[in-house]
């Protein structure tokens, strides 16, 4: 296999890392992952973690390019944020090398919201590079996650984006607030059911989030929501409200926000599919390897690999 | 003292209990408190906790009336919620007696929001009875707390109210989410400073709460907010957004929401004073013993005491 490999692409985040071996056409030949995100690595053991994941197939002669939190201040080497509007080519200019490791790291992207408060992404910029073609004139992209992102991408340029703490709010509120007291684990986590849809409809309406989520307590108290439905309902409210807020943000950028490109393929993404349908938003799915594709495209632009077609 | 006491009023909540001794004019003669909220009391030890707090001054011949979570399902005896619009007299009708304890408990109040989701209060209805006179035609009242409440009170009637999880969101997010990572304890907790005001201004604006609070992370990351300012800033965003949402709710009830009656006297209330000023809302303060006054008024209405003037 080794002779055919043109690039080793590494998606290295907070809680896990995943490596992809790509051939000279950019096709994924192999992939391997480990629960070795930067939060799990102590005393700078990044080189050991990388060597362990890549193993004998990690020949130093093959270029390696990484994205994600590995390039943050808490990571291996910091790759400073590139400001919006961020061209793919400016991402390439911001790539930093890890001395002696044969690894390069893609920078994150930053923007400022209407109140001049900064926002940041690391890893998602590379997924966007993989999921949106440079020739597409205008795409509203959604990247669900602990801190989900919505991004306006135009002709290979990340014009602006916005983060929502949806995933973290859900887990923190269930684990540590009164909303978790009457909650029980969901009986059938997939697909999201009627309680999720009820939550989404509440979230899509006008309201105050600090009030609306309190219903996870009161509905359970009044027997109008079963304990096992509470997590689904709360998830629906939070995702619904995110969709409402993000759409009004996108409209201010001149998007009609009637369709989005959804990036990812996990269970959380399935919830967004259901919620976006309830919001009458058309969904186009990007495949689950957007990070690998993005790293490939950036490596080509950076001249790290010579693609064969 | 004993001969002059007409009522022992007990404000008995989740985390603490406070007793007031009132004379026949309704004046507070003495008060005593203990960290014995219903969450701290195991195996139904309510009688012992009450006896311990009242001590030798707790003569069984004096009527005793309590409010708060002691009347919840997790309390001593459940006093079922009275629905809005709730007249003071209907609160009186809902008073339940604890058999053999010489104690009566005021019920909580419930309402339904625009989505038909229930909301509840326990204890605040009594504070409202104490802080708003039956003759006042229209008062928009604010009760800061872990789950703060806004209430429309008209001629001795709680027309409607709305809860916000503001206080709990603040503590849970700082203790358990990424927003607490770069936070440090506030150097000077009182009075709230410029970081609080910056947060309030953000909260008062249009935005998505799930996005707006993320600034507690990014501003600290970019050195635009010091660690000790993070708690103040986040508190400002949450209180500011509560004010914005509650005012638009009150306007739908026909209130112009340019002035409010603020009930309470703790450090949290001082934050609401500062935030409401930034929102150009005129504030009228109710005194800190609204619960005692409310229990007195309800006791008079219920015929438990004969007031002397």
How far apart are alpha carbons B220 and B215 in whole angstroms?
A: 8
Residues of B in contact with A245 (CB under 8 A): 207-208, 210-211
Residues of A in contact with B207 (CB under 8 A): 113-115, 245
Closest residue in A to B164 (Cα) is A211
How far apart are alpha carbons B70 and B75 in whole angstroms?
A: 4
The mean per-residue pLDDT over the stretch A180-188 comes to: 79
How far apart are alpha carbons A249 and A148 in whole angstroms?
A: 14
Tokens 């009336």 belong to which residue?
B65
pLDDT tens-digit profile of B145-157?
999 999 999 999 9
List the single best residue of A108, A168, A208 to mutate versus B (max B Cβ within 10 A).
Answer: A208
The mean per-residue pLDDT over the stretch B275-298 comes to: 95
C-beta of residue A233 within 8 angstroms of C-beta of residue A196? yes
Q: Which residues of A139-153 are buried (b: 16+ CB within 10 A; e: fewer)?
A: bbbbbbbbbbbbbbb
Confidence band, pLDDT 50/70/90 cuts, at residue B57 = low
Taking alpha carbons only, the member of B280, B203, B277, B188 closest to residue B235 is B203
Q: Which residues contact B271 (CB under 8 A, 6 or more apart)?
A: B144, B192, B196, B235, B239
Q: B114 and A207: CB-CB below 8 Å?
A: yes
The mean per-residue pLDDT over the stretch B108-136 comes to: 96
Which residues, in sequence order, are bridge partners of residue A158? Answer: A86, A153
pLDDT tens-digit profile of B219-254?
999 999 999 999 999 999 999 999 999 999 999 999
Which residues, in sequence order, are bridge partners of residue A259? Answer: A282
How far apart are alpha carbons B181 and B167 in whole angstroms?
A: 19
How far apart are alpha carbons A158 and A87 in whole angstroms?
A: 6
Res A188: pLDDT: 56
For residue A171, what are its two tokens? 């887990």
**Residue of A163, A215, A221 with shortest CB distance to B211:** A163
Res A1: pLDDT: 47
Q: Taking all residues of chain A, what is their mean pLDDT, rounded to a whole number?
A: 93
For residue B179, what are its two tokens? 């927003």
Res B1: pLDDT: 47
Axis-axis angle for helices A166-176, B166-176 (nearest 10): 100
Q: From the CA of A233, how many Å to the nearest CA of chain B?
A: 12
pLDDT above 70 covers a percentage of chain B that reads: 96
pLDDT tens-digit profile of A210-227?
999 999 999 999 999 999
> Residue B285: pLDDT above 60?
yes
Residues of A in contact with B117 (CB under 8 A): 202, 212, 215, 218-219
Q: From the CA of A271, how many Å to the nearest CA of chain B?
A: 17
> Using beta carbons and an 8 Å cutoff, which residues of A are at the interface with B?
113-115, 117-120, 147, 162-166, 168-169, 172-173, 175-178, 201-202, 205, 207-215, 218-219, 221-222, 224, 238, 241-242, 244-246, 249
> Residue A177: pLDDT above 70?
yes
DSSP H or E stretch at residue B285:
strand B282-286
pLDDT above 70 covers a percentage of chain A that reads: 96
pLDDT tens-digit profile of A105-145?
999 999 999 999 999 999 999 999 999 999 999 999 999 99
> Residue A250: pLDDT above 80?
yes
- Give me the interface pTM, i.e. the ipTM: 0.94
Q: B241 and A210: CB-CB below 8 Å?
A: yes
List the single best residue of B208, B230, B245, B249 to mutate versus A (max A Cβ within 10 A).
Answer: B208
pTM of the model: 0.94
pLDDT tens-digit profile of B150-199?
999 999 999 999 999 999 999 999 999 999 988 888 665 566 889 999 99
Pairing of strands A118-121, A109-112: antiparallel
Confidence band, pLDDT 50/70/90 cuts, at residue A182 = confident
For residue A189, what are its two tokens? 């986590």
For residue B197, what are its two tokens? 């005001």
Closest residue in A to B81 (Cα) is A222
For residue B307, what are its two tokens? 């007031």
How far apart are alpha carbons B104 and B295 in whole angstroms?
A: 11
How far apart are alpha carbons A204 and B287 in whole angstroms?
A: 39
Q: Which residues contact B166 (CB under 8 A, 6 or more apart)?
A: A210, B144, B147, B148, B238, B239, B242
List the single best residue of B113, B118, B210 to mutate versus A (max A Cβ within 10 A).
Answer: B210
The mean per-residue pLDDT over the stretch B270-289 comes to: 94
How far apart are alpha carbons B205 and B182 in whole angstroms?
A: 25
């Amino acid at each position: 296999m080794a002779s055919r490999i043109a690039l080793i692409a590494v998606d290295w985040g907070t809680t896990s890392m995943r490596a992809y071996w790509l051939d000279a056409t950019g096709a994924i030949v192999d992939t391997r992952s480990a629960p070795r995100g930067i939060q799990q690595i102590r005393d700078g053991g990044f080189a050991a973690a990388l060597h362990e994941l890549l193993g004998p197939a990690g020949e130093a002669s093959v270029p390696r390019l990484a994205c994600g939190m590995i390039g943050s201040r808490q990571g291996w080497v910091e790759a400073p944020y590139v400001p919006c509007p961020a061209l793919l080519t400016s991402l390439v200019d911001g790539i930093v090398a890890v001395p002696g490791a044969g690894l390069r790291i893609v920078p994150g992207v930053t923007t400022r919201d209407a109140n001049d408060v900064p926002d940041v992404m690391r890893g998602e910029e590379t997924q966007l590079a993989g999921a949106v073609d440079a020739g597409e004139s205008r795409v509203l992209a959604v990247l669900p996650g602990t801190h989900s992102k919505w991004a306006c991408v135009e002709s290979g340029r990340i014009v602006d984006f916005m983060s929502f703490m949806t995933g973290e709010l859900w887990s923190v509120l269930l684990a540590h607030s009164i909303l978790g007291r009457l909650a029980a684990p969901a009986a059938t986590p997939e697909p999201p059911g009627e309680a999720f849809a009820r939550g989404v409809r509440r979230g899509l309406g006008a309201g105050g989030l600090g009030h609306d989520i309190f219903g996870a307590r009161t509905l359970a108290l009044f027997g109008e929501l079963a304990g096992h439905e509470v997590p689904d309902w709360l998830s629906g409210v939070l995702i619904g409200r995110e969709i409402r807020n993000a759409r009004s943000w996108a409209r201010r950028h001149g998007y009609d926000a009637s369709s989005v490109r959804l990036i990812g393929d996990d269970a959380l993404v399935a919830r967004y599919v259901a919620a976006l349908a309830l919001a009458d938003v058309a969904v186009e799915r990007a495949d689950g390897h957007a990070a690998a594709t993005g790293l490939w495209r950036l490596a080509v632009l950076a001249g790290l690999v010579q693609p064969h077609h």
